[in-house]
Amino acid sequence: MRSQLYLWEPLRQQYISDLATIKDMFIERIQPIFANPESEAEKYKDELWESIMNRPCAEDEWADPGDYVDFVQDKAIERYEMLSLMKYRNIGMWLSCLCQVWEQQLYSFIIHEAEHEGLKYNPADTKRGFAFTKEAFEFHQQRFEDMPAWNKIKELRLLVNVIKHAEGDSEEKLRKIRPDYFIQDIYGTEYDPMSLYHTTLLEPTLMIKEQDFIDYFNALVQFWSDLPERMYSHDIS
């Protein structure tokens, strides 16, 4: 007797469509909000300057416009830094969402197929999260390591852990395969923001870009596309 995982084609397409919705929402609706922090900061500076210059003054009050130059410039820099940080955080948050939705798709698929097959997993195992899911696929002779998209997905999972926890084991592993995420070039000088700030969310310390998001999305879609319709366990009688 063998159990099986049956990836019904409409379900496969539903999973892919769900991931595509996340990608489209991020690219078309969310990311454009932070598309140009430079111009937004410049616009803010102009509006702030105009507001100050148009402010009514008392008859005995005289203001030198030069007194406000540094104030307006500092406020504009603050606005630029805030918008740039939010643009960076936004990519990190949506990368995490993309990865976690995919992981929950896997878990949901495994659990529902087990219910259909009358297969009972140890509750202690199901609480192990992704490790359990991966082993359940292996039990049905589908090793993630054999799939073309796996290396990119493994990289994504490391990145999401680094975004969440900053320094640690995942960071050390990610540095080995994506050192470019950790190096920033400023006027020809390279430095490592993570080593300087020891954070991934309080400062923009990872050089992640919109294209990285698209590359990871493509890997997750390829994963679902490459899975066979039916995956069988060894004989469990």
Give the residue extent of every domain in the chain: 13-31+89-229
Cα distance between residue 120 and residue 114, in whole Å: 7
SS3 state of residue 145: helix
Query: Tokens in use for 193?
Result: 């923001």
Cα distance between residue 24 and residue 180, in whole Å: 26
Return the pLDDT at 152: 98
Return the pLDDT at 49: 67
Query: Tokens in use for 224?
Result: 């679902």
Instruction: Look at 54 and 31; give whichever has higher pLDDT.
Output: 31
State the residue for tokens 């909000």: 33
Per residue in 112-143, pLDDT (tens digit) is 998 887 777 778 877 898 999 999 999 999 99
CB 167 within 8 A of CB 201: no
Exposed, middle or buried by CB within 10 Å (0-12, 13-18, 19+), for 56?
exposed
Average pLDDT, the chain: 88
Return the pLDDT at 214: 97
Return the pLDDT at 75: 81
* pLDDT greater than 80 at residue 232: yes
* pLDDT greater than 70 at residue 4: yes
* pLDDT greater than 60 at residue 58: no
Cα distance between residue 194 and residue 202, in whole Å: 11
Residue 55 pLDDT class (50, 70, 90 cuts)? low
CB 154 within 8 A of CB 147: no
CB 196 within 8 A of CB 181: no
Alpha-carbon Rg for the chain, nearest whole angstrom, is 25
Beta-bridge partner residues of 185: 190
Cα distance between residue 92 and residue 203, in whole Å: 12
Query: Tokens in use for 105?
Result: 């798709």
Return the pLDDT at 47: 74
Per residue in 164-213, pLDDT (tens digit) is 999 999 999 999 999 999 999 888 889 999 999 999 999 999 999 999 99
Residue 43 pLDDT class (50, 70, 90 cuts)? confident
pTM of the model: 0.87
